[in-house]
Amino acid sequence: MLKKFSVKNYKSFKDELMIDFSDYKDYQYNTYAIDNNLIGTAVIYGKNSSGKTNFGFALFDITLHLVDKEQVAEQHSNYLNANSDESVASFSYHFDFDQDEVIYRYRKQNSRKLVYEELYVNGNKVFSYNFLDHKSDFSNLAAIQANTLNFGFKDMNLSVVRYIANNSNIDKHSIIHKFMKFVSNMLWFRSIGVNNYIGYYKGVEQLMDQIIKNGSVTKFEKFLNDCGINHELIIAKDVIGNDILAVKFNHRVIPFWEIASNGTQALTLYFYWSQKFNDISFLFIDEFDAFYHTELAEVMIKEISQKKGFQTVLTTHNTALMSNRFLRPDCYFVLSNNKLISLPKCTEKELREGHNLEKMYRNGEFLEF
């Protein structure tokens, strides 16, 4: 799981911005929000243009050079902070894998060009490599079963970690295997009807086609019904004879997508990806409730926050969700002025279960930090 992440000089983040999933309080309620001594679900608030979306891109930058997964154009544009004199963006990831700690740091000139990379396992340096002057320290590769590798690739802009993972005879229990599997199974998506995503796999699938193909129509219908959308779904034929998902009314059958509201489309996208939650390692949903009614948003945050086996980060503007009914104060973060801070760190008050977090937020309690 991801323990800590920081980024500097990337897009809107001139100074270092960090999130620490191990920094939580000893609250005795909603304990499901903590998984393996790490925050399992984090909800990020921030004004428009505060950097919520860019933070998601920053977290998923690691997928650009370590794995061949889906990307979006915004990851590559305006890569470095426009107000900074620095020529590189810096990233740092701390992971926990079955009691083993992995620290992975790198610097880039742009989304595709690495200039520095280093890896630590359990506090011990495994390697470091400078892609500009080719200075390296590969003295401890034995720690990850890679000491026999021939590093003839040095003149290429290829990640050392990726090279090791693809060219070493390592077993599935090795640190590198766990690390690469985690990165491969990270998933970012937007809460809109278009299947726009980062990570997990590569390629575009049609949402309706996959729901039909996977035999999930009945399951999807129940999901919509549970969310208050009482459609009776059937598989119909379009004008050229292809199977389509449709809604059955008393006198007509209408293709599902023709009458799906923005909120229903967002739910469809969530349902599509939720069928893959057993495989993912880290989930980021940008503006996850952008098209949801408040009551539906509450249903969805309950649904998402109680999932196990992966960490989740959600961004939202909906302050009604900032409540101890769903999570805890240490799971809610405010992004402002290039700082990302949890609610307990934003106030001198000792936050309790009975506090109305939304009212405190609206009254300015958490804005001064």
| Domain shared by 223 and 358, yes or no | no
CATH number for the domain spanning 349: value is 3.40.50.300
- Confidence class for position 296, pLDDT limits 50, 70, 90: very high
% of the chain at pLDDT higher than 70: 97
pLDDT number for residue 3: 98
| Domain shared by 158 and 223, yes or no | no
| Domain shared by 39 and 67, yes or no | yes
pLDDT number for residue 71: 95
- Confidence class for position 366, pLDDT limits 50, 70, 90: confident
| Domain shared by 223 and 310, yes or no | no
- How far apart CA 264 and CA 247 sit, in angstroms, is 13
- Confidence class for position 30, pLDDT limits 50, 70, 90: very high
Q: What is the mean pLDDT of residues 59-79?
A: 96
Is residue 344 within 8 A of residue 26, CB to CB? The reply is: no
- How far apart CA 29 and CA 41 sit, in angstroms, is 14
Specify if 205 maps to a domain. no
| Domain shared by 190 and 315, yes or no | yes
Q: What is the mean pLDDT of residues 18-46?
A: 96
Which is higher by pLDDT, 150 or 235?
A: 235
Specify if 31 maps to a domain. yes
Inform me whether the pLDDT recorded for 154 exceeds 80: no
Give Cβ neighbours of residue 88 (< 8 Å, ≥ 6 apart): 9, 80, 107, 108, 109, 115, 116
Q: Going by DSSP bridges, is the β-strand pair 113-121/124-130 parallel, antiparallel, or unpaired?
A: antiparallel
Burial degree of 73 (CB within 10 A; 0-12, 13-18, 19+)? exposed
Give the range of the structural domain holding residue 219, as residue numbers without chain letter.
211-262
| Domain shared by 51 and 76, yes or no | yes
Specify if 219 maps to a domain. yes
Q: Which two tokens stand for residue 50?
A: 């505060």
Inform me whether the pLDDT recorded for 168 exceeds 90: no
How many DSSP H helices and E strands does the chain contain? 10, 19
- How far apart CA 212 and CA 189 sit, in angstroms, is 21
Specify if 163 maps to a domain. yes
Specify if 240 maps to a domain. yes
| Domain shared by 231 and 323, yes or no | no
| Domain shared by 250 and 353, yes or no | no
| Domain shared by 280 and 358, yes or no | yes
- Confidence class for position 172, pLDDT limits 50, 70, 90: confident
Q: What is the mean pLDDT of residues 171-192?
A: 91
| Domain shared by 20 and 69, yes or no | yes
- Confidence class for position 206, pLDDT limits 50, 70, 90: confident
pLDDT number for residue 155: 58
- Confidence class for position 193, pLDDT limits 50, 70, 90: low
- Confidence class for position 34, pLDDT limits 50, 70, 90: very high
Specify if 206 maps to a domain. no
Specify if 269 maps to a domain. no
Mean pLDDT of the chain: 93
Kindly report the number of other CB atoms within 10 A of residue 117's CB atom.
23
Is residue 333 within 8 A of residue 41, CB to CB? The reply is: no
- Confidence class for position 368, pLDDT limits 50, 70, 90: low
Q: Report the domain count for the chain.
A: 2
Q: What is the mean pLDDT of residues 251-278?
A: 93
Specify if 268 maps to a domain. no
Is residue 199 within 8 A of residue 69, CB to CB? The reply is: yes
Q: Which two tokens stand for residue 56?
A: 């998601």
% of the chain at pLDDT higher than 90: 84
Inform me whether the pLDDT recorded for 329 exceeds 80: yes
| Domain shared by 192 and 292, yes or no | yes
pTM for the full model? Answer: 0.95
Helix axes 262-274, 294-305, angle to 10 degrees: 10
- How far apart CA 208 and CA 168 sit, in angstroms, is 40
Give the residue from 224, 239, 262 where a domain finishes. 262
| Domain shared by 53 and 146, yes or no | yes
Q: What is the mean pLDDT of residues 273-277?
A: 94
Supply φ then ψ for residue 213, to 5 degrees. Answer: -60, -35
